Amino acid sequence: MPAKITATEQNLVHVFGDGYFFEIPLYQRPYAWTEEHVEALLDDLQDAMRHDREEPYFLGSVVLIKNDDDPRSEVVDGQQRLTTLTMLFCVLRDLSDDDELDEFVRQAGSVVKGTQDRYRLTARRRDQSFFETHIQRKGSLNQFLDLDPIDFSDSQRHMFENTKYLRDQLVQLSSEERKGLAIYVAQRCFLAAVSASDGNSARRICSVMNDRGLDLSATDVLKAEILDAISDSDTQDEYAAKWESIEENLGRDDFRDLFAHIRTIHRKDKLRHTLEEEFRDYVLGDLTSAKATAFVDEELELYADAYEMVLRSTYESTEGADKINALLRHLNRLNNFDWIPPAMEYFRRMKGQPDKLLKFSLDLERLAYGLFIRKANVNERIDRYSKVTSAIQNGESLSDDASPLQLTADERSEILATLNGGIYDQYRVPAPLLLRLDSILAEGGVRYQHPIISIEHVLPQNPAEDSQWMKWFPNEDERKRWTHRLANLVLLSRRKNTRASNYDFERKKREYFQRQGTTTFALTTQVVDQPSWNPNVLERRQEELIATLKREWRL
């Protein structure tokens, strides 16, 4: 009997209702969404709700092995989304103590219906007890979020961090705002549930849906429309060759991203519909043959050239190129690429003026790291960089204090306060920040090409009771205050060694921080040169490192 395949678009009232009981099978990878993913999801939900509370919001698709009359649904694709949405409902429920919201998390048993208590999502076997005890169980979150996640597995740590992020964000809303969000998410947010009656069919569907080539087909659709608008066949061939040369040079993935960045340069807002729809509306307009050729000549070629310089740090000039490319490499270490559209716009316009490009790159790198360290969310970043792009297009002075390219006094204060705190706890911030700081201390065009770079605490996170560390730091509060701060962090060009992390200071310097008598990083060399590592040393080092960043970024 052939497999039966169905696809239905349903709001979350139905998705987290009695028609589905989701099970994450053993073969699935662990839960891996990070705080950045959850931040983007929550920001998008709140932004969509503010934009138009009645307009449906599409959350994507899930692929299931499921038979019609059986609510049991084995999740082939969509684990990350379903797990995170469950966390969202759990946080909203526990903040409001709303039994209605608990219905999205579990089915309450009923003698009349002949049903038993049952959670609507069963996590992977290794994580289910953890997920049920600490997150799904009503009223468990406060105690859970007070735990120290040091002994959690990677997937459990992600669950902890993401639940904590959701709680920290949602607790700032009023009870009415949280209720409004819950109603919007339940009623106006939709998932496409694609169900197959056997595993082979479900996995084939999943494979097709996740084919990266299909995900990039927006550029193929636009290519056909733009070339079709060119009336002369010989000219069509000429521009098809230009198009394909650009795509081949960038590679298919980067070529797709190029179109997304060009759209942002024109639209100056987040993507609200499909890429091809917004590209037609905000970039191409009513296509004519002249407009089609002008787009390829005046936008696609020039922006592709600028994008390659910015993305791959390949600017060429008789002066200033090394400094400009070093700044671009620092920018590319960040965990977002929202800064690229204004960079493309400026490099396209000022390619032949290295002095202006250097000044712009210094200011853009300062702004980008400032937003990164402040943990500015995706909406704030897009809005800020769109204002920078507009300022460039309008010929405004980018050096004025009022320019969107410059940090405000409040922003500078917030950045300094964050730098002076437990920076290791700032998700994804430590590695780019420490590499940037190390490059300043190295005082040259240092390039980091190590296959592995890890962050090590000098004062260990869990020093032994009889160690030298405890003599230097007998006060537990003081020890904890210093453990995750900038002064106590160094870089290594190897994987972390848990055993070596707890060595006493002299042995740690000799056997762990140095390799064949040398260290790779300036930050680490400074530590090797220290005879001791006590609170006074850390206080002095913290002041020096903060002062270094303060000078570099004019804070």
The pLDDT of residue 124: 85
Q: Given a cut of 90, is residue 486 above it in pLDDT?
A: yes
CA distances from 493 to 138, 458, 502, 551 (A): 45, 15, 18, 27
The structure tokens listed for 15 are: 């998705």
Residue in 9, 373, 39 with CA at minimum distance from that of residue 188: 9
CA distances from 197 to 61, 72, 73 (A): 17, 11, 10
Q: Given a cut of 90, is residue 28 above it in pLDDT?
A: no
Distance CA 529, CA 542 (A): 16
pTM over 0.75: no
Environment class of 310 (CB within 10 Å of its CB; exposed 0-12, middle 13-18, buried 19+): buried
Distance CA 253, CA 235 (A): 27
pLDDT tens by residue, 185-224: 999 999 988 888 776 666 666 655 554 333 335 787 788 7
Q: Are 361 and 403 in contact (CB under 8 A)?
A: no
**Pick the residue with more confidence: 358 or 127?**
358
**Pick the residue with more confidence: 212 or 532?**
532
Q: Are 553 and 440 in contact (CB under 8 A)?
A: no
Of 140-154, 322-336, 537-551, the one with minimum mean pLDDT is 140-154
- Fill in the amino acid letter for 492: L
Q: Given a cut of 60, is residue 517 above it in pLDDT?
A: no
Distance CA 398, CA 389 (A): 10
The pLDDT of residue 43: 92
Work out the widest C-alpha separation in the chain, in whole angstroms.
Answer: 83
Q: What share of the chain is helix, strand, coil (3-state, %, to 5)?
A: 60, 10, 30
CA distances from 409 to 71, 406, 511 (A): 56, 10, 44
Q: What is the mean pLDDT of residues 488-514?
A: 79
Q: What is the mean pLDDT of residues 401-429?
A: 94
pLDDT tens by residue, 7-26: 789 999 999 998 899 998 86
Q: Given a cut of 80, is residue 499 above it in pLDDT?
A: no
Q: What is the mean pLDDT of residues 474-482?
A: 92
The pLDDT of residue 401: 94
Distance CA 72, CA 76 (A): 13
Q: What is the mean pLDDT of residues 77-105?
A: 91
The pLDDT of residue 120: 93
The pLDDT of residue 202: 64
Q: Are 306 and 344 in contact (CB under 8 A)?
A: yes
Residue in 382, 360, 405 with CA at minimum distance from that of residue 267: 382
Q: Given a cut of 90, is residue 176 above it in pLDDT?
A: yes
Q: Given a cut of 70, is residue 513 above it in pLDDT?
A: yes
User: Can you spell out the DSSP letters for 328-352?
Assistant: HHHHHTSS--TTHHHHHHHHHHHTT
